Chain A
Amino acid sequence: MLDIIINDKRWEWEAVEIGTKGDELTLDVTSESVATYAKDARNFDHAYIDAGSGDLAMPTGIFRDCQLRRHSVAQAAGYTSLEMVEDNPRQTPFAKCTARWFAPIRVGDTLTSSAQVLEKYERRGSKFVTFRVEITNQDQERVAEYDYTCIFEYAKGQNLS
């Protein structure tokens, strides 16, 4: 695990390089983690709230157990993510996301994930970065992945309030 270093090198869109990869995060899928996530999603299906060993996790639970840690990708490149810089921090909001599942995720699994920069592009004056998060289980089986696109910089004058 990398130590988080807050420096003054802002990971602006121009500094983002395709292929930059963050470190790995490994977490166990537990009855408690499945239930907590389901409750936060206000899904009170007993299959999740009372999940036991071997029971399926809620599919979108990958977003919590294998969270996109964009700061880890920024750190790998020697930068600090825009959310974490001391001066004038800025969010890089969600634009879109595609998740794909390849194999079941169950209570008792251990998931390892890492994020890398898949692409960056400009559209109508806004600047976007897409990260891919790849997820494997304890058997090194690829169980899921997702492509998460953030708005690094939005077109001047744009306001959705």
Chain B
Amino acid sequence: MTQLKLNASFDSISVGDELPPFEIGETQATMDQPATNSRVPKAEDAKPRKNIHNDPDFAKAGLFGATANAGVMTMAYVNQMLEAVFSAESFYNGGSLTYKGINPFRDGDVVVFTGEVTAKRVESGKNYVDFAIKGIDQSGRMVGVAEATVVPGH
């Protein structure tokens, strides 16, 4: 099976080709950082604002039993994984990304994302490449699955 390389051309891509695996971990510190840098206006950050990402006591009583990262941050990791091959333009040309969380991505977890091409097509003169991606943690537990479509310009 071929592993895709940076700036792979549409013609060179085949169904079954793989994205380079992408490994990333979370710690409480990395999960705290997005809230620190939130762009939501401060006036809206009024108390009380319990959060399963950065409040261990609050999270303990919830579905996950511990703090977990934000699903949209996991999407940023998948974005980064795809950008190892495709430029940001490939998203902005009409791309899409779906992520479904299956299990929490928690403090101390290390997840490896892998993915492969499921289809390629030309529609209205644009090149589309579809991917199926999954994330597995260090214990073999699946944390989530993604479907992505990128639109490489060449």
Contact = CB atoms under 8 A, between A and B. Distances in A.
Interface of A: 1, 3-4, 6, 25, 27, 33, 36-37, 40-43, 45, 47, 56-60, 63-65, 67, 69, 71-72, 83-86, 89-91, 93-105, 143, 148, 151, 154, 158-161
Contacts, number: 151
Given A4-B44, A64-B34, A69-B40, A56 B88 contact: yes
Contact of B44 (A27, A72, A98, A102): A72
Nearest to A151: B63
A113 to B, nearest CB: 11
A85 B40 CA distance: 18
5 contacts: A43-B79, A43-B83, A58-B79, A95-B71, A101-B96
Contacts of A159: 63, 65
A4 to B, nearest CB: 5
B93 to A, nearest CB: 8
B100 A96 contact: yes
B46 A84 contact: yes
A1 B79 CA distance: 31
Contacts of B75: 60, 63, 97, 99
Given A40-B37, A64-B39, A99 B97 contact: yes
A42 B46 contact: no
Contact of A6 (B46, B66, B76, B93): B46
Interface string B83-116: 1000011011111111111011000000000000
A42 B83 CA distance: 13
B100 A60 contact: no
Nearest to A100: B96
Nearest to B69: A94
B86 to A, nearest CB: 10
Nearest to B26: A42
Contacts of B73: 40-41, 63
Contacts of B94: 100-102
Given A96-B99, A99-B97, A59 B63 contact: no
A161 B100 contact: no
Given A1-B43, A104-B92, A151-B63, 7 more contacts: A4-B43, A40-B73, A69-B40, A84-B46, A89-B58, A100-B94, A103-B92
B71 A97 contact: yes
A144 B83 CA distance: 18
Contacts of A1: 41, 43-44
B19 interface: no
Interface in B41-75: 41, 43-44, 46, 48-52, 58, 62-66, 68, 70-73, 75
Contacts of A56: 88-89, 92
